[in-house]
Amino acid sequence: MKKILMIGTGGTIASEVTQDGLAPELTSQQLLEHIPAISEICEVECIQLMNLDSTNITPNHWRLMARCLRDHYAAYDGFVITHGTDTMAYTAAALSYLVQGSPKPIILTGAQRPIGFDSTDSKINLTDSFRCATEDLPGVSIVFNNKVILGTRARKTHSKSFQAFSSINYPLLGVLRDGCLMRYIRQDCGAAPIFYDLLDTKVSLLKLIPGTDGELLNYVLQRSDAVIIESFGVGGLPSYEGTDFYSSVCAAMEQGKTVVLTTQVQNEGSDLLVYNVGHSLKERLGVLEAYDMTTEAVVAKLMWILGQTRDRREIERMFYMPVAHDILWRA
């Protein structure tokens, strides 16, 4: 019987009702007590790393999770991390960069309703996750609502319903039916994982709206080492009266800042060369382009890259280097 480490971080799955709303209260061991049948699937040991609403998860917590995985990696066959759903996709992406090429499963899961509720998705999600943790399912993935989603491709697309997560611009790794994993795609892995610890957390995200004040971009650029701009459609920057987004980006890049253009559109990705509003950014300034990457993956990847290097050419090389199938398409 395989030996799995369950790492608790909090979230709705571990929450109880308080007078101020749901709050994480239960430990990993207490969660397991609700599902005794898991003992028939695998042997489980627990670590309670933290007990937070995932709104309060920060990059420092990602490092703690990665360090926990590194410290216990040799002793277990797989790992299940319970986590709140709101920022789970960010954590899954971050762990995909901090723990690369893992031949062992690293599964994130959670729930839309607490495990103590009569109507809850907690029990099936946890049970499915432990089943996946005992399979040949390398790398980081999210197991939720009978779906297995690659860690770099997940996004929370429903705020309340059980089908909380979708796989963006990439197929599902598999599905679970009647307790059995039907795997469609197998992730690449190495003989042993490569662990990283350094992250540059001075990465910001600016979502454009019609009429965005150019000074807002200047402010964010001043306070950040890298800025991701979520633009419209296939991507570009506005040039209406009173603003000069192009010059702001140009000045920031001359100062050694990293700028990435991505799109607010969930599917199919960016293509800056299509329209005039994006063409010069790509051809003249050489801004980085996210293409089919999720915003969650771009955030985590930039933090990882800038934690390793500040050389502009190396940043570009690493950004476009696929990690866990995070980017597939380039013009």
CA-angle at 91, arms to 261 and 316, nearest 5°: 35
User: Is residue 263 annotated as a catalytic residue, yes or no?
Assistant: no
Give the side-chain half-sphere CA count within 13 A for 60: 2
176 vs 129: CA distance, rounded Å: 10
Exposed e or buried b per residue across 160-172, where buried means at least 16 C-beta atoms within 10 angstroms of its C-beta: eebebbbbbbbeb
HSE-up (13 A, CA, CB side) for residue 1: 10
Residue of 308, 324, 329, 327 whose CA lies nearest to 141? 324
Active-site option among 18, 27, 82, 85: 85
Rg of the Cα atoms in the chain: 20
* Separation of alpha carbons 141 and 75, rounded Å: 20
- Residue 54 known to bind ligand: yes
Q: Would you state the structure tokens that stand for residue 280, as one six-digit string?
A: 């010069």
The active-site residue out of 9, 12, 91, 134 is 12
Q: Verify whether residue 12 is a known catalytic residue.
A: yes
For residues 324 and 151, is the Cβ–Cβ distance under 8 A? yes
CA dist 137 and 139 (Å) reads 7
Q: Is residue 86 marked as binding?
A: yes
Give the residue ranges of the annotated binding site. 54, 85-86
Give the residue ranges of the annotated binding site for substrate. 54, 85-86
Residues taking part in catalysis: 12, 85
